Amino acid sequence: MNTQYINIPLNFTQVVDIVRQLSVSEKQQLSEVLWKEQIIDNIVIPEEHKQIVLERIAKHENNSGGYLSWDDIERKMATRK
């Protein structure tokens, strides 16, 4: 199947009117597409945050015996009930 693209100039209000005509399922699909586009276009991780993550990974690797696994945490939580 060949996909063909057409360029139709629309203003924001016209786009909103078109979206309102979509089914709930189509609106959900559109929402997912827009969310993914936003994430791809706007992802910026500050260097300070990257450094914090690297420091925490190094701290964990140097002291892995001092942390509980997720399974251990679940077992502890189950015994408290």
76 with 51, same domain? yes
Q: What is the pTM of this model?
A: 0.42
Assess if residue 66 is contained within a domain: yes
Average pLDDT over residues 20-43: 87
What pLDDT sits at residue 15? 93
The secondary structure of the chain as a DSSP string is -----------HHHHHHHHHTS-HHHHHHHHHHHHHHHHHHH----HHHHHHHHHHHHHHHHTGGGS--HHHHHHHHHHH-
Of 16-20, 44-48, 77-81, least confident by mean pLDDT is 77-81
What pLDDT sits at residue 41? 64
CA end-to-end span of the chain:
57
Higher per-residue confidence, 40 vs 67: 67
56 with 80, same domain? yes
Assess if residue 34 is contained within a domain: yes
Task: Say whether pLDDT at 35 is over 90.
Answer: no
User: What is the domain extent for residue 36?
Assistant: 9-43
51 with 37, same domain? no
